[in-house]
Amino acid sequence: MELTQICDLAVIGGGPAGMAAALEAYQSGVEKIVIIERDKELGGILNQCIHNGFGLHYFKEELTGPEYAQRFSDQIPGTTIQAMTDTMVLDISPDKTIHLVNTKNGYQQLKAKAIVLAMGCRERTRGAIGIPGERPSGVFTAGTAQRYLNMEGYLVGKRAVILGSGDIGLIMARRLSLEGAKVLACVELMPYSNGLNRNVVQCLNDFEIPLYLSHTITRITGTPRVESVTISKVDEKRNPIPGTEITFQCDTVLLSVGLIPENELSKTAGIALDPRTRGPVVFENMETSVEGIFACGNTVHVHDLVDFVTAESQRAGRYTAAYIQGQSPSPNAFLPVTAGSMVNYTVPQKIHLPASAPVEIFFRVAMPMKDKKIVVTASGTGEKLMEFKRLHLAPGEMEHITIPTSALEKVPDGIEIAIV
């Protein structure tokens, strides 16, 4: 085998984002497409998400994670897309040379006309949040425990405390309960859950698992395995309040304390990252700061629903095909999109000019709010362009609005999205 292979499009990651982008690029006329996946099969994290609730938007029916993944992976054999599994990408050069390695062919290079980054995200760990106490075994990230339980077939513990009320933590509370473990508590630092409301209902309430809001773990003890966990109430500044301690005898702690877009490879390619999303800064066509390198899915920003990952990745696939076919907008004329009051970030951060299609903007709000308006204003002048009413806004639920091309024609300094 030659050291260097050539393709039109290389997709890094074979999860829902990578598969949707590759299939869409194929349908848009790109032929030589390679998906590079480090696991032994396509599907990504969906393969371990055996619970249902996927696909209501995209397929209009409720699927489990593996079923959702299979709807896409089943389409690949009928195409010219090559899935290179069990393969790790080591580095991407700005000239779009991908350095990869696998056990079959060793080190290889793949030169692509365009690249789609679809590496997904990774979990924050105990080290990222600094929990005091001893360092016993039995402390897992929720996603790791999910893989052990659902794919490898190991129950990680018998009595567990879950820190963080993100969706994976909630889902794991239910899984552990159904498989015979006792979940003593779900502990959340913030005064509200970061997970979807439906998951609080069907994963905690259904199993009578108490949710401690405005609480955090202040001590873990045990040698060599977790023996107890102490939680404390926190004040408005999130500092533990002495005297509020509750101790649980348990053997396991699961952490569901946030996801971070995976971008080590993006950095090797010299791609500009947004410190708020921790993913690449992208244009409305999902192109990054490096020409011909696109990104989509949880690599760009962490989504709540895979359906939205699919939609975003299909958009990336279409625009990547356009780039390969020589129909890409100039990177020099663009409008910046800025996050205003109570908005944590926006995706995209830039819109090419002239705008050729309505632009969908995705964002998260800073705190739960009721009866508010999403307001789009012209940066600089502050002129109000559009507003959208919302009865209910929450950080755990990604918002999106669509801005017509007409609104983008008269705003030379860009637009700002704010909640008022």
Partner 1 sequence: MKELICIVCPRGCHLSVDDTAPEITVTGNACPRGAAYGKKEVTAPARVVTSTVRISGAAHRRLPVKTRGEIPKGMMAEAVKLLDEVTVEAPVKVGDVILPNILGTGIDFVASRTMDKT
Give the binding site for partner 1 (CB under 8 A): 40-41, 47, 50-53, 56, 62-67, 69-70, 149-153, 178-179, 196-198, 200-202, 206, 304-305, 392, 397
Cβ contacts of 179 within 8 Å, gap of 6 or more: 149, 155
Of the pair 52, 244, the CB lying nearest partner 1 is at 52
* Distance from C-alpha of 407 to C-alpha of 387, rounded to nearest angstrom: 12
Cis peptide before 354 (omega within 30 of 0): yes
**Nearest distance, CB of residue 281 and partner 1, angstroms:** 27
Of the pair 69, 131, the CB lying nearest partner 1 is at 69
**Nearest distance, CB of residue 43 and partner 1, angstroms:** 8
Residue pair 13/44 in contact (Cβ under 8 Å)? The answer is: yes
Please spell the DSSP secondary structure of 126-145, one letter per residue: HHHHT--B---B-EEEHHHH
**Nearest distance, CB of residue 199 and partner 1, angstroms:** 8
Of the pair 237, 389, the CB lying nearest partner 1 is at 389
Of the pair 86, 387, the CB lying nearest partner 1 is at 86
Of the pair 88, 151, the CB lying nearest partner 1 is at 151
Q: Which amino acid is at 159?
A: R
Residue of 72, 125, 49, 138 whose CA lies nearest to 313? 72
Of the pair 147, 219, the CB lying nearest partner 1 is at 147
**Nearest distance, CB of residue 415 and partner 1, angstroms:** 27
* Distance from C-alpha of 61 to C-alpha of 51, rounded to nearest angstrom: 14
The total of other beta-carbon atoms located within 10 Å of residue 333's CB is 10
Phi, psi of 77 (to 5 degrees): -60, -25
User: Cα 72 to the chain's mean position, in Å?
Assistant: 18
**Nearest distance, CB of residue 14 and partner 1, angstroms:** 15
Of the pair 56, 366, the CB lying nearest partner 1 is at 56
**Nearest distance, CB of residue 151 and partner 1, angstroms:** 6
Residue pair 341/373 in contact (Cβ under 8 Å)? The answer is: no
Distances in whole angstroms, Cα of residue 407 to Cα of each of 46, 82, 284, 330: 38, 41, 15, 20
Cα-Cα-Cα-Cα dihedral of 271, 274, 280, 284, to 10°?
-120
Of the pair 57, 135, the CB lying nearest partner 1 is at 57
For 81-181, where are the E strands, in sequence order? Answer: 81-84, 87-92, 97-102, 106-117, 121-123, 139-141, 159-163
Both tokens assigned to 240? 């533990």
Distances in whole angstroms, Cα of residue 77 to Cα of each of 71, 113, 290: 12, 23, 31
Alpha helices in 298-398 (DSSP H): 306-324
**Nearest distance, CB of residue 384 and partner 1, angstroms:** 27
Of the pair 96, 303, the CB lying nearest partner 1 is at 303
**Nearest distance, CB of residue 322 and partner 1, angstroms:** 31
Q: Which helix (DSSP H) or strand (DSSP E) does residue 198 occupy? A: helix 197-199
**Nearest distance, CB of residue 95 and partner 1, angstroms:** 36
Residue pair 87/101 in contact (Cβ under 8 Å)? The answer is: yes
